[in-house]
Structure 1
């Protein structure tokens, strides 16, 4: 098994009560995000991945969830960190048409259906978080 660190951006439009999601060509919906590249911090990765998939620039806040999964088919052991993020610029547009087939704002109920692995639902993301602290190069 290869270890893979993955990051996701939970972007919530409070006015509309909607969560930004992307449809991966692998036939699954997810939050914008992906694998952390070598030498990249978790925050740098979520900013890059979100822009690559949606065209949006984000600022990243605290950690909302940490998940872990073994993807047997790909032989990957993934640790998945979901961050709260806010749109600060850019234009919503699919950037990587090889990987992403749609970008959609969905309500909380639909987000919960599309991401059942967040036990208790994604609405808990609106109330709790854990600080992310980058300690630098030591």
Structure 2
């Protein structure tokens, strides 16, 4: 009986953790996607990267309009069609183009830009409407 308690406790703990994680995850909203690529002036500057990541995560956590968010870095490209020249990218989804416009003007976004604009030399944005 004692041999069963530990495995059952482990299974129970994992099940609870997965259920809680699922509750906090938002489903991808396919109405409007906002994809941003950042090229840093100093892409190897670890101090600037840490500041950028902290500011971007704070912004995303406080955005009233972004439904889902993804923050990434460029992987080492293994195919010619893959552009690995950027430093970071952000993918955020919105219920509508109007919500994305409100996101552009919200204080959390403006603070992020003010804190980080000195770090990047180039930013490219790709917005798209879902074709459901």
Report which of the two has the higher share of strand.
1
Give the structure with higher Rg (CA). 2
Tell me if both proteins adopt one fold, taking TM over 0.5 as the criterion.
no
- Give the shorter-chain TM-score range: under 0.3
TM-score (norm 1): 0.24
Structure ranking higher on relative contact order (CA contacts 8 Å, 6+ apart): 2
